[in-house]
Amino acid sequence: MKSFFLSVTLLLVSVVGFAQPYTSRLGRFQVDQVRGCAPFTINITTTNANGNGGCTGTTPCIMSFDGTNNCPPNASCQNVTQFTYNTPGTYKLSVIYQSIGADDITITVDQNIQPAFDIYTCAGLKTQINITDKSYDIYNIDFNNDGVVDNTIPSGNTQTASFTYASAGNHNISVKGQKLNAANNCNALVQSLNALASLPSPKINSLAAQDASTLQLDFTPANNIEYKAEIAFNNASNFQTYQTLYKVNSMTASNLTVDNSYYCFRLGSFDPCANTNVYSSPICSHKFSVAIASGVDQLAWQTSSTGISSIEVDRNTISIASVGASTTSYNDNAIVCKTDYCYQLISKYANGSTSTSLQKCVTAFKTDTPSPINNTSAVVDGNTVTLTWQQDPAFTANGYEISREIIGGNFVFLKTKNVKQFTDSSYNNGGYCYEINYSDVCNNLSATGLPSCPIILSGKIDEINDVHLQWTGYKGWNMGVKKYSVQRYYQPGQSPQIIYNGSDTTFVDNAQDQTNQVVYYKIVATAIENGIPISLSNEIKVVKSINLFSPSAFNPESKVSVNRTFNVKGHFIASMKLEIFDRWGSLVFFSDSNEPWDGKRDGASMPDATYVWKVEGLDQIGNSFKKIGTIILIRK
């Protein structure tokens, strides 16, 4: 190889040097160069090339280097033998002789380009360069930048050269380009490298899925090292070359099926001198999917576990779990239905590398049937009934539907509420049952709830003013009624007396009370299950009768004092007047102060006979009454 480059170098040098100096078109003058890079200085070495006498002080010549007679600082351009071209282009250099006319030569000035080249570090203190520039015909390489050309190579498709350094460390490489038959005055490009005894193992920092067909690999490259990226499909062992990487820190792998396969990559630090690689640890993507089922989001994936220390499961960018390297699934049960969740996997490798999957998004759902509402309390207040209910806290209600039926009929939708209370203002005299159902936030309908039938209380009073109460048993509690309590009070809003506690649905209030003509009653139901509000019946008002009574006869002269006078008596009388008439209708007695008749008229005793009495009055609540009867007066 060295002998080949030596032969080429000698050949090129001989070609370059063969034509110097360069003779003008008519052979009258010569120049030292006809081509070079700007700034390019040429010298007219002789104006007497063919013995014509040349240009002298007595027979001066006019020179035109660029088509003008501008030869600063010589204003006349006479006998000027040196000129510098600063602008690339093709010029006609002319020398005008006084007696024989003009002669010329073509001068070419090229753009001064520093030739681009790449440096590749090899093991064993070697390096290889590849000249990518195509501007020149030959390239002079100085691997130590010490002024000594180590290699000269021609322009072509493969412009490479290798060199071995005596020691490791930093070195500078100079490359200068040159055209054939041209001056060697073009600028060199100097680059540095670090000669190494061995190539370092590369490390892939991260692998991330960009979309369903693209993966991006990021790494930290070392200077002047070429890398070979290799790929394996659904395994981490059967690799094949994928891309060559140089002077980049990332690679995009496209046209993949990320959802259907997982891909493993490794990087090789490539040694072009030995055609070998030093490989990194592999890193792999994920074949990742998320399925949804009632109450659970099901994550499943495939990847190679090689080198992985753990796999992080992220939900909405927040870590929710860390699983082992060989784990391939995860169920997320901590979900709320109708909520969007986005999941992502991050494989964490022992060497610090990470591999991030595509993000998979789903909307969670649940189909569990919510528990029915089986504990509803009903409180009747006048023409209204207020229902309150309890609901299983395991479900979140989206709204409650209240239906009502006339007992024995069908339930009819009445109202939708967002709170666990409802007042039916059209309850009136009752006779309704209610059913509360709901849908949860997942739009699942609850099982049919237990109907709630408010307590209906009724009562009647007998001839002796005993109050007979009866009521319907309360329906609406899952475990039923523990007890019923009878409340009695005498004015609305008054604190009630509890006069009965038990399980019966009838009660007789036979308490003797000559004071309170009006009595109010309510029934309170208490549930067996703790923590459930009471249910309360309608209120009934009982008005006791005055029950007027009187004797059929009396004897003012009786030895028994209780039978010596006549009067009409009763209960709850506020005022009353008593009138006594004889058989001819004449008034014989009058009293409005509850004074009894002693059988006399104006002090005179009345004869034995049958008399007519009449009473009129008001009871305690202002009701009027009137009654007529007869009384026999007997004196014998």
* Number of structural domains the chain divides into: 7
Residue in the block written with tokens 């009388």 = 573
In a domain, 278, yes or no: yes
pLDDT at 2: 37
| Strand partners of residue 311 | 323, 347
Q: Is the peptide bond before 73 cis (omega within 30 degrees of 0)?
A: yes
Shared domain for 22 and 98, answered yes or no, is yes
Shared domain for 325 and 425, answered yes or no, is no
pLDDT in tens, 107-132: 999 999 999 999 999 999 999 999 99
Residue in the block written with tokens 């049937």 = 369
pTM above 0.85, yes or no: no
Shared domain for 79 and 8, answered yes or no, is yes
pLDDT at 560: 83
Q: What is the DSSP string of 184-245?
A: S-SPEEEEEEEE-SSPPPP-EEEEEEEETTEEEEEE-PPTT-EEEEEEEESSSS--EEEEEE
Q: Among residues of the chain, what percentage have pLDDT more than 70?
A: 97
- Other Cβ atoms closer than 10 A to 587: 11
**CATH number of the domain encompassing residue 343:** 2.60.40.10
In a domain, 548, yes or no: no
Shared domain for 561 and 594, answered yes or no, is yes
Tell which residue, 355, 360, 313, has the closest CA to residue 209: 355
pLDDT at 99: 87
pLDDT at 636: 74
In a domain, 488, yes or no: yes
Shared domain for 11 and 78, answered yes or no, is yes
Q: Is the peptide bond before 21 cis (omega within 30 degrees of 0)?
A: yes
Helix boundaries (H) for 278-358: none
In a domain, 270, yes or no: yes
Q: Characterize the bridge pairing of strands 62-64 and 40-46.
A: unpaired
Which residue range is the domain that position 175 belongs to?
117-195
Instruction: Please tell me what DSSP assigns to residue 154.
Output: E
pLDDT in tens, 290-310: 999 999 999 999 999 999 999
Shared domain for 278 and 298, answered yes or no, is no
Token pair in block for residue 241: 């070359």
**What SS3 state is found at 15?**
helix
Token pair in block for residue 255: 């046209």
Q: Say if residues 439 and 446 touch (Cβ distance below 8 Å).
A: yes
Measured distance CA(116)–CA(175) in Å, rounded:
8
- Is the pLDDT score of 406 beyond 90? no
| Dihedral pair phi/psi, residue 16, rounded to 5° | -65, -40
Q: Of 56, 86, 110, at which residue does a domain stop?
A: 110
Token pair in block for residue 126: 């070697």
Shared domain for 139 and 71, answered yes or no, is no
Q: Characterize the bridge pairing of strands 535-536 and 540-543.
A: unpaired
Measured distance CA(196)–CA(251) in Å, rounded:
25
In a domain, 320, yes or no: yes
- Is the pLDDT score of 5 beyond 70? no
**CATH number of the domain encompassing residue 180:** 2.60.40
Work out the burial of residue 50: count CB atoms within 10 Å of its CB; fewer than 13 is exposed, 13-18 middle, 19 or more buried: middle
Shared domain for 8 and 87, answered yes or no, is yes
Q: Say if residues 633 and 606 touch (Cβ distance below 8 Å).
A: yes
In a domain, 8, yes or no: yes
Shared domain for 485 and 427, answered yes or no, is no
Q: Of 78, 110, 142, at which residue does a domain stop?
A: 110
pLDDT in tens, 199-243: 999 999 999 999 999 999 999 999 999 999 999 999 999 999 999
Q: Of 259, 284, 309, at which residue does a domain stop?
A: 284
Shared domain for 296 and 279, answered yes or no, is no
pLDDT at 17: 42
Shared domain for 537 and 558, answered yes or no, is no
Residues 30, 36, 40: CA angle, nearest 5 degrees: 85
Q: Characterize the bridge pairing of strands 101-110 and 35-37.
A: parallel
Average pLDDT for the chain: 93
In a domain, 65, yes or no: yes
Measured distance CA(375)–CA(451) in Å, rounded:
9
Instruction: Please tell me what DSSP assigns to residue 78.
Output: B
Model confidence band, residue 174 (pLDDT cutoffs 50, 70, 90): very high
Work out the burial of residue 317: count CB atoms within 10 Å of its CB; fewer than 13 is exposed, 13-18 middle, 19 or more buried: exposed
In a domain, 21, yes or no: yes
Strand order in the sheet with 82-85: 22-23, 30-31, 40-46, 82-85
- Is the pLDDT score of 3 beyond 90? no
Shared domain for 278 and 293, answered yes or no, is no
Q: Say if residues 153 and 162 touch (Cβ distance below 8 Å).
A: no
pLDDT at 15: 38
Q: Among residues of the chain, what percentage have pLDDT more than 90?
A: 89
